Structure 1
Amino acid sequence: MILVTEFMDEDWIAWLRARGEVRVAPELADRPADLAVAARAARALIVRNRTQVRGDVLDAGIAVVGRLGVGLDNIDVAGCEARGIRVIPATGANTLAVAEYVVTTAAMLLRGAYAMRPEMEAGDWPRAEAGRGREVAGKTLGLVGYGAIAREVERLARPFGFEVVAHDPHCRDWGAMRTVTLDALLAGSDVVSVHVPLTDETRGLIGAEAIGSMKDDAVLVNAARGGVVDEAAVAGALRAGTLGGAALDCFEHEPLGPSHPFAGCPNLVLTPHIAGVTREANARVSEMIARAVAGALGW
């Protein structure tokens, strides 16, 4: 049996059901004890980023974990390896969706005119304020991390007119990309986009000091991992006018809960960890994982 604990394309769930038993139980994503019990009847799990594959779940006897996405910080990979559990991420299947999110959201925040609906519906005509927006052409986009998604962001951003620079101490294949130090990237970029995994090294990487070194009208985009960006520091800088805008798609704690710091922040886009989720990307990710998990189980 395959246990699916988060949303997956219905066509590919049906494809799996034509080959074997499948249980779809999204309620288990936030109930680790119940998940561990349910997993005893399963040979494989298919998850996204909320389901925690660790602890008692690893001792339930599963053979495969299919990840509908690429980040693995919700999965105890070392624990899986120790038990012979195969972990299969959907590498590359949602790259375009994330890159499109980054470029379009950055352009929207730079322009700044798309949040005028409340004033206009109230009868105002905020033309002067809306006309202070900025063009993309000639602006510098700084990529913190230079993996596959960052490279796709670069590919999409250059035709818009962005100048692109990157910083990644672990990258060895730069091609024609112009590399800079992190300090230089933060100080010189009009848009800073985060593209690193959450590790001990990157936790809190974009904190109050880093944000304080950015241009006062710069835009910050995080569609990588929560915990890399200090959310309270972002909120404080937006309110103080020392950050021009921000788009956050991932957070240290998801869902946000009532004590989040973002209420009333200007020029802020918040999305529920969906930068890599579109109809097309969901179908690609679901197909990749369905085929891979079925193959691993001999279906």
Structure 2
Amino acid sequence: MKKVLISEKIDDDAVQLLQKNGFDVEISPAVDEATLTEHIKGAFGLIMRSSKLPEGVVDSADQLRIISRTGTGIDNVNIDDATKNHVLVARVNGANAYSVAEYVITTMLAMSRRIYKSDRLFKAGQIVSTHGESLPGLAVKYDLNGHEIRGKRLGILGLGRIGKIIAKLGDALGMDIIGYDPYVKASDVKLTTDLNDIYNSCDFISVNMPLTKETKNLIAAKELGQMKDSAFIVNAGRGGIINETDLADALNNGVVAGAALDVFTEEPPRSDSPLLTAKNILLTAHIGGTTYEASKAVAIGAAQAVIDYSTGKKPQFTVNYKDLKN
């Protein structure tokens, strides 16, 4: 019976799928190098979530043939190391795209309507009527009314599956959509080849790109300074695309109006991260693509990739398949 090691718990339906196909499934008790190195022995497949695969784990594996990632991003896996050890890397594309797109729209609405500010003031006991003011009157007093997103311009950086869904949802809400993606030459979305068009004109900017050499620190002090002081930024792509120190400075100094981050350069952020004390920022724990529905879909997709490869079939979405065959 072939063994599959799962780095972190995934949906039970995916585990049962593996078991029905004759696999012995083991969930690692931790994701540090020593633990994974111990438990990877004898494993045909390794299913990874978002935690980083430590250096040396693949080198120590004696039977590993596939690493299957429960999502699109594979920056937590060293592809060159896997290829060197003749290990296929597979991923699941698009299964959580709607979930991430919903997150982006949700945070845009929450920030624009100042939902969290109102909630915080209520819980702090600061919304108090001293002269018989109504709640609508107090909302004016404490600047809680916010703005509609209808008619506002949304810039989408990255027009893959997620970006396209965000565009459709934004369009349905009456937004003016503009997209940037150097790999997309034709789209239903209005495209620009100049990022300055996004920075200079947009009321909302959604980052939905992978982290690469080209996108690292793509948005830093200079780019933030180009934006409207009323602009909101949402990053549900990858940490490191926005310079976190520069973003915190921009928020604290009113350069931009607000930001929502679901991803970070270091996850979770260190206790001394400037983001934790920045003004007008919404921080979430990489939940964009982890609704119950999406978590089930990506887990089943990752499990199916292992099953397919074990029977000699090429998984649907692979990263280094051609390199292994050469």
TM over 0.5: yes
Any residues of structure 2 matched to 1:104-183 within 5 Å, and which?
104-121=106-123, 122=125, 124-125=127-128, 126-128=138-140, 129-183=142-196
Mapped contact 1:44–1:64 kept (Cα < 8 A): yes
Equivalent pairs, count: 297
Displacement of 1:50 after TM fit? 0.9
- 1:37 maps to what in 2? 38
Given candidates 14, 22, 25, the residue that maps to 1:22 is 25
Give ranges in structure 2 of 5+ residues lacking alignment: 129-137, 313-326
- Greater mean deviation of Cα atoms: 118-127 or 65-74: 118-127
Give the fraction of aligned pairs with identical amino acids, expressed as a percent. Answer: 33
- 1:5 maps to what in 2? 7
- 2:82 maps to what in 1? 80
- 1:186 maps to what in 2? 199
Letter in 2 for 1:15: L
Q: Deviations over 1:180-212 (max 9, x none)?
A: 510111110000111111111111001111111
Measured in 2, the distance between the counterparts of 1:130 and 1:241 equals 16
Q: Deviations over 1:96-139 (max 9, x none)?
A: 00111011111211111332223223151541134440101010
Displacement of 1:84 after TM fit? 2.5
Is 1:95 the counterpart of 2:97 in the alignment? yes
Measured in 2, the distance between the counterparts of 1:267 and 1:82 equals 45
TM-score normalised per structure 2: 0.86
Structure with bigger gyration radius: 2
SS at match of 2:178: strand
Give ranges in structure 1 of 5+ residues lacking alignment: none
Letter in 1 for 2:45: A
Measured in 2, the distance between the counterparts of 1:226 and 1:165 equals 22
Is 1:284 the counterpart of 2:297 in the alignment? yes
Mapped contact 1:7–1:26 kept (Cα < 8 A): no
Q: CA RMSD in A?
A: 1.8
Mapped contact 2:58–2:82 kept (Cα < 8 A): no
Is 1:195 the counterpart of 2:208 in the alignment? yes
TM-score normalised per structure 1: 0.93
